[in-house]
Structures are given as structure tokens and as C-alpha cells.
Structure 1
Amino acid sequence: MIKENESEHTKFSVVIITRNSFDKEKTYLDGFNFKLITIASVEDLKPYTPNIIIIDYDSVSDLDEVTSEINEMPEALSISVILLTSNRVDTVLNIVLKYKFFSVLNSLTNATAIVSLNSANNQFVKSYEDRLKNNELNRLLSTNYLTLDTKNQFLEQTNKRLEKLISDDIKTTTLQLQKLSDSIERHLKDEYQYQLFKVHFEEVHPLFYKRLLEIDNSFSDSNLKLASFIKMGFSNSEISFFLNVSLAAVKKGIQRMKQKLKIPPQGSLREFIFKI
């Protein structure tokens, strides 16, 4: 979604594939917070991340090619495509059904167009949010799988060592068992799991840690871990459960982090972190 500077309302990006001029339409749609961008081909879409794509049927020579190129875009499932034509709706109905266009319009400067664009934009936002949610859930599942897989490997290795100890001389068993106990204790500490979590978290929020450390480079792993769970939207109680610490410890960590980030007492750490 395209955003103007903070003093203005959010402008929703609408790209129209056409060889015609749409200056009047741009002005009209701007009044309803839609930023109309004209391009000559799908290839010209690369610099933009539109909420809606409009195909000017009257100026596109090969509709099959255009729709095929749009469908190959990674974000195609989220973007609504509208057909603009001077033809009557009933004459292009088969085309609309064939290509599964969101709607068909004969003008961009009337109430029908605004209603259709708003509906298409709402669908885009919902689809985009659902896709993000699914991606994060998939990452969480993959992280859990990797963690379990690592633990399984460790348990298999431990089992082999135990079997060997059983067959060894009894005099060496006590020492070997102590070493094995120390190994298990080291493994059960959460450092490895956190590093694994950190890798996947940075795939979803690639600049988050970097930006935090730019503000204060003294952030420890425990600080970053707490900030990560806040960024993911977990409540204090949920963070307490995941980190296996008391609720009071979580609240104390939040207060310390606010001091590090120079957030006033009445300010919100969550709001600050969500904006990073």
C-alpha cells in the first residue's frame, strides 16, 4: 500500500494498464484516497505494490497475455483485478467469468467505481493479512519441527551412549554418567532454541533487531527475546509462559527496556515496538 507523508490520509495504490491518459480520473479518485497510476504493460508494475489492478480493455491488445503475466506475480492471490471497458456489461460477461475479474466498470469517475474500488481494496487488505498470518504460522510450525528434530537427534545420541555405558566396565560408569548428565543439562538450556527461534524471527522481521541495536547497542539476548515476543503480539502472561519466568519478571523487563529506549513512563513499549 502506498502511503503519503504522515500529515495526509493513506492513499491506496491503484494501477491501471492502459495506453490512454487518465488525468481526470486521477484527480477524481484522489479525492477518495485512491492513487491512480497508469502503466503501459505488466512489466511496468515492478516498481509498484498495488492494492488493485485495473485493465483498460479498450486499449489492451492481448488480454490473455496480460492476465497470464498478472497471475504469475507472487502477490497475485491478494490483488483484485478490475476490467474497465466502454462495452456493456452483458457483452463482456463471459470474459469477466473466464478471467475471474473482481468486477467490470465503464467509468472511474462515478459512485459505482468508488464502491467497487473500496470493496476490492477491503478484499486486498483481508487477503494480505490472511497471507501474512499463514506465513507466520508456517514459520512457527517449521521452527517447532526443527526444534523437535534436534531434540530427537540428541535423545538418539544419548540413548546410544547409555547403551554403551551399560556394556562398559562398572568402574567407569559413574564418571561417564556424570558427563552425560552435564551434557543433558547444557542441552536443556534454552540458548540453542533461542538461536533457532532468532533465525526464523529475522526472516519475518528482517530489520527489527538491527533497528533496536541502533537505538541501544547494549541490548542483551534476553532484551531482544522479550522484544521479539512483544513484536509478535503476545500478552505479558503469554510471554511469561513462553520464557518460563514470572509475570513480575516480564513487567520488570518491560520497564527496564522502556528506560533503555528512553520511553516516558506513560508511554507504551508495545506501540513503540510495533512501529519498528
Structure 2
Amino acid sequence: MSHIPRRALSLPRPLLLGGAILLASTLVAAFPGAVAPYDPLAMDYVNLLAPPSAAHPFGTDNFGRDVLSRVLHAYTIDMQIALFATLFPFVFGTLVGAVVGYVGGTPEAVFGRVVDAVITFPFLVLVIAIVSVLGPGLGNMYIAIGVVGWVFYARIVAAEVKVQTRLDYADAGRAMGYTHARIVFRHLLPNAITPAVVYWMTDMALAILLGSSLGYLGLGAQPPAAEWGVQIADGKNFMATAWWISVFPGIAIVITGLGFSLLGDGLAEVLRGRR
């Protein structure tokens, strides 16, 4: 029993700290009603723009809604954004990159042109353009990110798989008559996916920032939903008199993004050691 804590303590500190932050964030996202003191949509016209107090630790907004409750309930939406906005790009991009890196030739050349076309434009500009065409909302935001984001994962995995194909174990697999699918997905990809996994953790933090930015612009989550970007937009006209409306959601974004970044750094250190 004594070796378990010792093994846990031997893990990288960024991994432990990032994991603790994200565990707490996930629990709040799963059970916001258990920790939020009020209904996030309940309006109290007696306490409009009330400053932080014992009754309302984060104050209230211009509709009398409790800011703490809205920040806590926003974890549900923003953690969903972190997952749903990056899951398809990660999976699809990894599969495409693995095939392209192994096959090479014409598919690799075509893929290179696609990458060049995508990275020519800033990522945020492309996403905003697609969402503007499709219409505001989380669903269209996921589509826009998926259309653009998979390219970056595919590029990372393709480069790693291309390196792995030159190693002896790949030649041994071909000599033993293994199918191309088995060589790629059973042998090459497990040894090439580490950078993509680390990038995925960082990309989740960026997805939260992007989702909040689109929410602020009115292209992501729509009011009166409790979402950090929407809350910051709600408080932009009251920064001089009610700073708490925007500041506390901003702090939540920073802490959650830091958790993903630390987790990615810790995973990179662990996976590099295993490799």
C-alpha cells in the first residue's frame, strides 16, 4: 500500500497540478447545482449590480443574477466546448495523418497543399468566417473548428509516422507479411501519437478561449446561457462600476486553461520517458 503514494508523488508536478485542476473542473461541470448557491438564470431586481458580499461572493450582474452561480454553471458549457470542439479534429486528423505519413507519394503531396491552404489564413479568422456563414450557436462552432482544426493534428501525426516507417520494426512488420492496416494502427501509430495527444491537451485550452471569444462576439453560446464569454460580454459596459461581472469569468478561463496546459506538459514528460 505504501508504494502507491510514492509512485504518485514521482509523477511530474505539472501533471499532478493540471490533473487536480481539471478533476475539480470536471466535477463542477458534472454537478454545478451541487456547488452553485443560486439558479444561474434567476433575476433579483432588488440586488442589481450588487458588489461581492457574503450573500453573493462574486456579486450580481445587471439583471441581479448571481455571478458565482453563473461562473460555476458555465463550467458545464465550457468543458463541453473543450471536448466537443477538439475530439473530431483529434480523431479524424490522427487517422488521416497516419495514412498520409505511411503511404506518402501523391496523397502526401495533396495533403501538403491542403495544409498550405489552411495555414495561409489565421485560424480564428477562418472559424469566424465559417460560423458567420452557418449562423451563431455551439453546434455550428463545432463544425467550423472541425473543418479547420483536423489539419494540424494530421500534420503532426503524418510527420511522426513518416519517421517511424524508416525504423527497423516497420521493415520487420512488412517482411513478416503484416497488412498495411496492422502496421499503421497496431505498430506505427501507437509510437507516433504522443505529440498529437500533448497538442490535444493544449488545444482544449485554446478551444475554451476560442469558445469564449465567439461567445463574446455573439457567435458561440447565446444569452442568457451561463458561458464565460457571454458573461464577459454582459459586463463589458459595466467595467468601471461592476468589474466583477467580467473579471471572475476571466479568472475561470485562465485557471481552466492553465489546467489543460499543465496536464499537457506533464503528459509530454511522462510519454517521453516511456518512449
TM-score in same-fold range (> 0.5): no
Higher relative contact order (CA closer than 8 Å, sequence separation 6+): 2
Using structure 1 for the length normalisation, give the TM-score.
0.28
Greater helix fraction, Structure 1 or Structure 2: 2
The structure that is strand-richer by fraction is: 1
TM-score by length of 2: 0.28
| Bigger-Rg structure (1/2) | 1
